[in-house]
Structure 1
Amino acid sequence: MTRLPRPTHGLILLLIIALAVASAFPLVWMVLSSFKTPEESMQTPPVWIPGSLNLSAYGAVSEVIQAGRSLWNSAVIATVTTTGILVTSLMAGFAFAKYRFRGRNALFAVMIATMFLPPIVTLIPLYRMVSAMGFSASLVGVILPNLANAFGIFLMRQFIAGVPDDLIDAARVDGASELRVVFSVVAPAIVPAIAALALFAFVYHWNTYLWPLTVLQGASEDYPIVLSLGRLLSYNRGAMNTPLVMAGATMAVLPPLVLFVFLQRFFVDSMVSAAVKG
């Protein structure tokens, strides 16, 4: 195996550090700006570090929007949707990976094809279906169409295919039902993949904007935090309210960021496992 010369190692390290700093800069700037006073936010050249820890913007957010209610709505949408995706993806992935039935490959191909449909194409049909069921302008209408996910099924199928058949057959011989095989035998064997899917799903549905905006028309009390932030932006008139907007954005980004910190080890493990299998 050819080793790279030491100067090359240094250049690669510098490149990684530069990319990390560039990626983290917007987040750091947002957090620092939320602690600035309105005067500091308007200074030119810009003030990089606030003179003091000013928390007034965080208190003002709740006066402009229902921040607590919006965060709760986002948590309900993201948590329930993620749980549904994990359950349906595990069961469907297990069926595609371990069952042999007529039309399996064709059905799997059709399911994969749905991943390439732009969301805007399905927006109106989904909204008409949700409205016909009486779930428009409610959190149920936001959650229901997203309880199954083609990418999640594909991901689980790929990892479950690597679980030994002997392990599954042994569980069946011991009298385990198919549901117990899925959740007590297969699921523990692919924990990194499940954690990665949970992270993807939670962050996506926490940040999703267009579908909740379509369904929740006239139901502002059910707005998730990303929709409520739009009201903050309309409230902003010049730089005077920039700390307020940054405080709201910081509050919105914290939950998925904390989840990533806890699940990053599993996320990396799943990527390494997929690379080794590939």
Structure 2
Amino acid sequence: MKARGTLLTLLLAGAFGLCVGPFWWLAMAATQHDRDVFSWPPKLLPGGRLMENLQGLQESIGLDRVLVNSLVVAGLQTAGAVVVSVLAGYAFAKFDFRGRNLFFVLLLSTLVIPDTVMLIPIFRMMMDMGLIDTYPSVVLPGLVTPFGIFLMRQALRSMPDELLDAARVDGAGELRVLWRIVLPVNRPVIAALALFVFLGGWNQFVWPLIALRSPEMYTLPVATATLQGLSTTNYPQVLLASAIAAIPVMALFLVLQRQFISGLLAGSTKE
């Protein structure tokens, strides 16, 4: 039994090292000189060039500006997508209207369409509306998420209709029912959805690369790509930008981890 426990501990320690090791190397390499990034054996202790690399990153891409751009884009996209998903999911789950199942099947069918297929039509739409190189051009295409609507619809279907009908009998309108009853009960699912949408909005690269033209509007992934030149690449700055990009997502997950896990498990138990 003792040998089994020791073996399990070693396996868990190895798995922990495999998961955390790359992130540790990323953080340490971001503080090194360019010539030390790919040295062997790898340097796994902090170097002395963190402030120099940070200053160089600020001069190269305007770190503070691109961080604000990414936060604005991801934040607006998350808020909008959550609102649209909740409203649409509530309609599909609790309203009986003609063509409901057909519309829902058509919505789900869009999940099999690759995002790259939609790049040209969306670009034409944004260009015709004069929104290219603006925040709306990046935010608007991400407001409707079929996965988010599906997730909210499945979660809201489990709510008893009697509870909602009782609130309506007491004089509550649909928006009040949604705000006072539906949202508090489904807070874990909404938190999980918000985390998924924020992660996608924060990390998206292809569409912002197409829609944004001026460096002042670049998001962090797009600005980081500009650090890779044809002949030379400042790898410490690229790694530092990658490490900074991971911080907001990790912080958001730590804040919402309980709701996130509860949201993933919602509906997994048999009623």
TM-score (norm 1): 0.89
Give the whole-Å Cα distance in 1 for the aligned partners of 2:97 and 2:249.
39
User: Relative to structure 2, which stretch is displaced further, 153-162 or 165-174?
Assistant: 165-174
- Residue 78 of structure 1 deviates from its aligned partner by 0.4
Partner of 1:227: 222
- Residue 136 of structure 1 deviates from its aligned partner by 1.1
Q: Cα deviation per residue 1:112-147 (whole Å; 9 max; x = unaligned)? A: 010111001111111111111111121111111211
- Residue 6 of structure 1 deviates from its aligned partner by 8.5
Partner of 1:168: 164
Q: 2:241 aligned with 1:242, yes or no?
A: no
Give the whole-Å Cα distance in 2 for the aligned partners of 1:235 and 1:180.
57
Partner of 1:188: 184
- Residue 274 of structure 1 deviates from its aligned partner by 3.4
Q: 2:53 aligned with 1:57, yes or no?
A: yes
Q: Cα deviation per residue 1:83-118 (whole Å; 9 max; x = unaligned)? A: 011101111101111111221111111100101110
Match of 1:138 among 125, 134, 137: 134
Partner of 1:268: 261
Identity over aligned pairs, percent: 38
Q: What stretches of structure 2 of length at least 5 have no aligned partner?
A: none
- Residue 273 of structure 1 deviates from its aligned partner by 2.5
Partner of 2:151: 155
Give the whole-Å Cα distance in 2 for the aligned partners of 1:145 and 1:54.
37
Counterpart code for 2:249: P
Counterpart code for 2:55: G
Q: Cα deviation per residue 1:46-71 (whole Å; 9 max; x = unaligned)? A: 21213557432112210111111101
Query: Matched residue pairs, number?
Result: 271
Q: 2:61 aligned with 1:94, yes or no?
A: no
TM-score (norm 2): 0.92
Residues 209-220 of structure 1: pairs in structure 2 closer than 5 A: 209-216=205-212, 218-220=213-215
Runs of 4+ in 1 over 3 A off after TM superposition: 5-20, 37-40, 51-54
Contact in 2 for aligned 1:142/1:212 (Cα 8 Å): yes
Contact in 1 for aligned 2:93/2:153 (Cα 8 Å): yes
Partner of 1:70: 66
1:56/1:170 Cα in 2 relative to 1: closer, same or farther (>3 Å)? same
Contact in 1 for aligned 2:126/2:132 (Cα 8 Å): yes
SS at match of 2:96: coil
Q: Cα deviation per residue 1:163-183 (whole Å; 9 max; x = unaligned)? A: 121221122122222112112
Q: 2:254 aligned with 1:258, yes or no?
A: no
Residues 196-207 of structure 1: pairs in structure 2 closer than 5 A: 196-207=192-203
Give the whole-Å Cα distance in 2 for the aligned partners of 1:189 and 1:236.
55
Give the whole-Å Cα distance in 2 for the aligned partners of 1:167 and 1:36.
60
SS at match of 1:68: helix
